[in-house]
Copies of this chain bind each other. A is one copy, B any other.
Amino acid sequence: MTLKLYGTRVQRVITVLNEKGVPFELIEVDLMKGEHKAPQFLEKQPFGQVPYIDDDGFILYESRAICRYIATKYADQGTKLIPTDLKGNALFEQAASIESSNFDPSASAAVFENLFKAYWGGKADPVIFEQYIKKLDGKLDAYDVILSKQKYLAGDNVTLADLFHLPYGTIGPGKLPYMFVQEMS
C-alpha cells in the first residue's frame, strides 16, 4: 500500500521521500480549520501536530523521526543519508542535535514571529523578531567555523542532519548557510 503522508508544509519529509524515490500520497491537513486537533487526528498523533505517516498500518510522527525511518528502510536506494559506522554516525548525531538545539529554536521562533503569527491573528513584533535573528546569527558563527573545515554539517557528505534544516532555510541576507525553501513543516 502506498505510504500516506498527513500534513501541510511537510517539506522535510517530502524531500527525503523524493531523495529515496519512495512513492507517497499526501493527505492535506487543514490547520486553519483545526483538523489537527480533531479526535480522529489526536488518536494517531496525541500532540495534535503535523506530519504523521501511515506506512501500511504503521503510524509514525515527528518529522525528523519519519525522515530517519524512511532513510533507514530505504537505505539501499538513493543517496545514503545516515552514516552507519560508529564515529561517522556519532558525528551525524552531533549534527542532528546541533540542528534541533542550536538552529531550530531561534529559526522557528523568528519565522513564526515574522510570518506565521499573522496567520493566527497576531501581529509581528519587529523587536522580538530581531532578538531571535541576533541569537540565530550567533549560532551561525559556529556553523561558519564548522563549514570552513568540512562541506556539510556532519562531514564531507550530505546527511539527514543537513536536510533537517530545510523547513526554515531561506534565501536571506547575512550568514544563513541553508538556502532552500521557504516553507515550514
* B-binding residues in A (CB < 8 A): 42, 46-48, 58, 60-65, 68-69, 72-73, 86-87, 89-91, 93-94, 96-98, 100-102, 105, 139, 142, 145-146
Residues of B near A87 (CB, < 8 A) are 58
Q: Do A94 and B60 contact each other (CB < 8 Å), given the known contacts A69-B86, A72-B89, A100-B101?
A: yes
Residue of B nearest to A94 (CB): B65
In the assembly, what is the distance between CA of A91 and CA of B58, in Å?
10
Q: Hey, which chain B residues are within 8 Å of A69, CB to CB?
A: 86, 89-90, 93
Given A47-B139, A94-B61, A94-B62, is A100 in contact with B100 using a C-beta cutoff of 8 Å? Answer: yes
**How far is the CB of A117 from the nearest CB of chain B, in Å?**
16
Question: How distant is the Cα of A87 from the Cα of B55 in the complex, in angstroms?
Answer: 11
- Give bound CA distance, A146 to B43, whole Å: 10
A65–B97 touching, CB < 8 Å: yes
